[in-house]
Chains A and B, each alone.
Chain A
Amino acid sequence: MDLSDELIIPAPRDRVYAALNDPEILRRCIPGCEELVKHSETELEAKVVLKIGPVKARFSGKVTLNPENPPERFSLTGEGNGGVAGFAKGGSVVTLAEQGEETLLRYEAKAEIGGKLAQLGSRLIQGTAKKLAATFFDDFRAALTEEATA
């Protein structure tokens, strides 16, 4: 499954980059996120409750960040295990371009799913992932907008 989109965040690029590496902001913005622990500058661990079609489960996952060229570009890979619900793994490349005081965020993501998620939810996964991504970035933009106006 492939996913890509771009959107404008009303904040400077350095701030956007920092926010994308801020566990507290991420925890607030990731849909269903119950817990997010930063083990190091590049390693995060998360617990997320997700419902995809008929499958609802708590996924525990690891995310590894790869700051290729901060703050312009970085990538990340991750995998989450939902026990009998199956698993998901994938990666994303994010680029940030300055547009005056704002930032254009582009991402391209790839994901693979397995187990019950694949057997029961494969037709729903693209739509669900798009919705989750949209929710994340809506909340992320809102968080930064709030911060700018606060």
Chain B
Amino acid sequence: MPKDTGIGASSKRREDVRFLTGKGLYTDDVSLHAQAHAVMVRSTVAHGRIVRIDTSAAAAMPGVLAVFTGEDFAAVGGNPAGWLINSRDGTPMREPKRPVLAHGKVRHVGDAYAAVIAETYQQAKDAAEQLAADTEIEELPAIVDMKAAVADAGNRVHDEIPDNLCFDWGWIEDNRAAVDAAMKAAPHVVTLELVNNRLVPNAMEPRASIGEYNPGTGDYKLTTTSQNPHLTRLLVAAFVMGIPENKLTVVAPDVGGGFGSKIYHYGEEALVLAAAKKLGRPVRWTAERTESFLSDAHGRDHVTKIELGCTKEGEILAIRTETLANVGAYLSNFSTATPTFLHGTLMAGPYKVPHVYVNVKAVFTNTAPVDAYRGAGRPEATYSLERVIDKMCRELNLDPFEVRRKNLLTPDQFPYTTPVGLVYDTGNYQATLDKAIELGNVAGFEKRAAESKARGKLRGMGLSTWIEACGIAPSHLVGVLGSRVGLYDAATVRVNATGNISVMTGAHSHGQGHETVFAQIVAERLGIPESSVEIVHGDTSKIPFGMGSYGSRSLAVCGSAMNKAVDKIIAKGKKIAAHMLEAAEEDISFADGKFSVAGTDKAKTFGEIAFSAYVPHNYPLETLEPGLEETAFYDPGNFTYPAGAYICEVEVDPDTGKVDVVAFTAADDFGNVMNPMIVEGQVHGGVGQGIGQALCENTSYDENGQLLTGSFMDYAMPRADDVPFYTVDHSCSTPCTHNPLGVKGCGEAGAIGTPPAVVNAVIDALHRGGMTHVTHIDMPVSPHRVWQAING
């Protein structure tokens, strides 16, 4: 019998009431007295030297209040990279300054070099157009292709960085020789070169920011579209603007999706604060859709060569990769961690592989910055690995299911130390594989394939067994690996006098459903109704601290902090109860919302204890403070390691090359599940984005660095008819061993495991149709590319 409340119940998402009735409050909904409007002036060339910006005509236009250029921010700090990567030779990565507004040079189409503030949006837009006309930029040759970028030392994105290389990273460098030797000795070596296509995150809500400044107090306020308000406060205050953190409040109200792109601090946030101070008025900015395409951090964009050494029976002996990772024109905050420690550390997959070596060269180009996007590094690793294993099966004529089974780690091998620096705490990969085979009715595939064939379609089946590291992560570990921040989280549980509860969480919900799930956990633990618990997030003036939501970390890290704060509440409640019940503290137990004295019927309800804490007439004041509010910080001992098996079935039209995903089965192990409905929804969204990457989405820059896919006319988002009804299961659960809730993370799973399952299915379909010459098709596997492969 499924529960109808508390942990494990599919409680309805309470936030949907306001979202679905148009009562959400997003940044752009905030309207302030005397507000002024900012419009950014962006480069239309990919690479150029700013010769002259004449602001006089724009400044004199109707309604214009101020004009800013890069010169105005030359003295303040740059937006820093959050993770230091050292190259193989031990030298630190190259870190060019990322200014608020481009200064001296523009480095990608969409790079903002000026901003106009005016009374109305239209006036600001008109003046921005004038300013663009009064700007002279000497166009320089654009650096777009990564291979050309590292080969051409003369043409530089940043004048001070030769060969456009940010770093050349080896993981693990000490293992390189052993991996080379194992590869050389392997009876069979499979090689695959592939591209992990660049994606635009395309959150439904574009980025927006509002700056406020109170000259009477010197206080700033930034309302902004952020997944990570405390980090944004730290970056904009301490690193860029030089404002004390206690003079800046950052509020991220309802946020309409982020997928990674809103983790980071962007120049517009500093701009509206500076403009608000200069004018003494609120200053607002909201991106237009094409502006989002041009200036949001993009995702993926790897070019990889992967080699896999194996026995003729398909036992994996060694894996070696060489990757060029595009970081774009500037280092976004997590851009250096994404292709390295979120990617290289996953290159062993869920398999027992003795030898793995990963080389990543991060390359500057005249394109928008690239950073973490749903999955962040792990989709790239999973795609390379699952595609090369599929190729191995074809070259050696082996069954892909049996090859996975042969190489997967077995439950008795945990905890398992991988050759790429992680310790997997628990898992049962055979169980999810078996579950996927059962739910996907693999046994009935041949019959379905015959039925497709009768309709002139080629049916194929693709498998991917994926693992990821999420719930990032232990500060002591990430510190060793180069992170410049800690990755704990925090929560405050405030019990009000009448027994209802406000929980302030460092995690930020921008669609995930924290307000529902976190309340379920607190309600269950304290034996009170869910409706008595309110979750507050996204406001640095209310929340103790937080590192935000990304990397499927909210529940595993912040949920654990909240759980720890609840422990403290219960512990204090026991002290109060012991006093009121005239019993020893150690004799008090707490269950079902009641503090009871063991072996008696004496008890106090949670509400009575809360009331007593705030009306302490009968209270141990000499030993205990009144009030009932606790804060906890939680720093995890390890990453969590969700894993699963995905089976995709496609039909390919051999005449047109069109691919239809006709069935998709996802069997995942997310550890303990707090709300099955929300988990299922997260998987649906992730798989949808995975199918989008595999079949539809591509970010295309021409050789001059012009973005050709700058709107939804040209950038193909997956639509309802591109995805099938999913079969989703998370019954094969091995609870995480090191966090108190036993939870892993489900937010990114679909985006990680899906792309290789889809592409493997397309290759399978073509092989079944006799087109065995097709060994690989790069994503997106569009009708055009499939047709070319068929007819190649």
Chain A residues at the B interface, C-beta cutoff of 8 Å: 53-54, 83-84, 86-87, 112-116, 118-120, 122-123
**CB contact between B290 and one of A87, A120, A122 (< 8 Å): that residue:** A120
Count A/B pairs, Cβ under 8 Å: 53
Residues in B655-711 with C-beta less than 8 Å from chain A:
702, 704, 706-711
Q: List 13 A-B contacts (CB under 8 A).
A: A83-B133, A84-B129, A87-B44, A113-B706, A115-B109, A116-B290, A119-B706, A119-B709, A119-B711, A120-B710, A120-B711, A120-B714, A122-B714
Evaluate whether A114 and B708 lie within 8 angstroms (CB atoms) in the complex, with A86-B44, A122-B714 already known.
no
Evaluate whether A118 and B132 lie within 8 angstroms (CB atoms) in the complex, with A86-B44, A87-B44, A112-B704 already known.
no
Return B116 CB to nearest CB of chain A, in Å.
Answer: 13
Chain B residues at the A interface, C-beta cutoff of 8 Å: 44-45, 109, 128-129, 132-133, 290, 293-294, 702, 704, 706-711, 713-714
Instruction: Let me know if A118 and B708 touch, CB within 8 A.
Output: yes
Instruction: Let me know if B702 and A118 touch, CB within 8 A.
Output: yes
Instruction: Let me know if B45 and A118 touch, CB within 8 A.
Output: no
**CB contact between A120 and one of B129, B704, B713 (< 8 Å): that residue:** B713
Instruction: Let me know if A114 and B704 touch, CB within 8 A.
Output: yes
Instruction: Let me know if B707 and A118 touch, CB within 8 A.
Output: yes
**CB contact between A118 and one of B128, B706, B713 (< 8 Å): that residue:** B706
Evaluate whether A115 and B44 lie within 8 angstroms (CB atoms) in the complex, with A84-B132, A120-B710, A122-B714 already known.
yes
List of A residues within 8 angstroms of B109 by Cβ: 114-115, 118
Measured in the bound complex, the distance between the Cα atoms of B710 and A56 in whole Å is: 17
Measured in the bound complex, the distance between the Cα atoms of B702 and A86 in whole Å is: 15
List of B residues within 8 angstroms of A116 by Cβ: 44, 290, 710
Return B106 CB to nearest CB of chain A, in Å.
Answer: 12
Name the residue on B nearest A113 (C-beta).
Answer: B706
Instruction: Let me know if A119 and B294 touch, CB within 8 A.
Output: yes
Return B185 CB to nearest CB of chain A, in Å.
Answer: 50
Supplied contacts A118-B109, A120-B714, 7 more A-B pairs, CB within 8 Å: A87-B44, A114-B45, A115-B44, A116-B44, A119-B293, A119-B294, A123-B713
Instruction: Let me know if B710 and A119 touch, CB within 8 A.
Output: yes
Measured in the bound complex, the distance between the Cα atoms of B290 and A54 in whole Å is: 13
Measured in the bound complex, the distance between the Cα atoms of B713 and A87 in whole Å is: 20
Instruction: Let me know if B44 and A122 touch, CB within 8 A.
Output: no
List of B residues within 8 angstroms of A122 by Cβ: 702, 706, 708, 714
Among A53, A116, A118, the one with the most B-chain Cβ atoms within 10 Å of its Cβ is: A118
Among B293, B707, B710, the one with the most A-chain Cβ atoms within 10 Å of its Cβ is: B710
Name the residue on B nearest A1 (C-beta).
Answer: B702
Return A90 CB to nearest CB of chain B, in Å.
Answer: 12
List of B residues within 8 angstroms of A114 by Cβ: 44-45, 109, 704, 706
Return A126 CB to nearest CB of chain B, in Å.
Answer: 12
Measured in the bound complex, the distance between the Cα atoms of B714 and A113 in whole Å is: 16
Among A119, A120, A123, the one with the most B-chain Cβ atoms within 10 Å of its Cβ is: A119
Instruction: Let me know if A83 and B290 touch, CB within 8 A.
Output: no
Among A86, A112, A113, A120, the one with the most B-chain Cβ atoms within 10 Å of its Cβ is: A120
Closest 10 CB pairs between A and B?
A119-B710, A115-B44, A118-B706, A122-B708, A114-B706, A84-B129, A114-B44, A120-B711, A119-B707, A119-B290
**CB contact between A119 and one of B45, B132, B133, B708 (< 8 Å): that residue:** B708
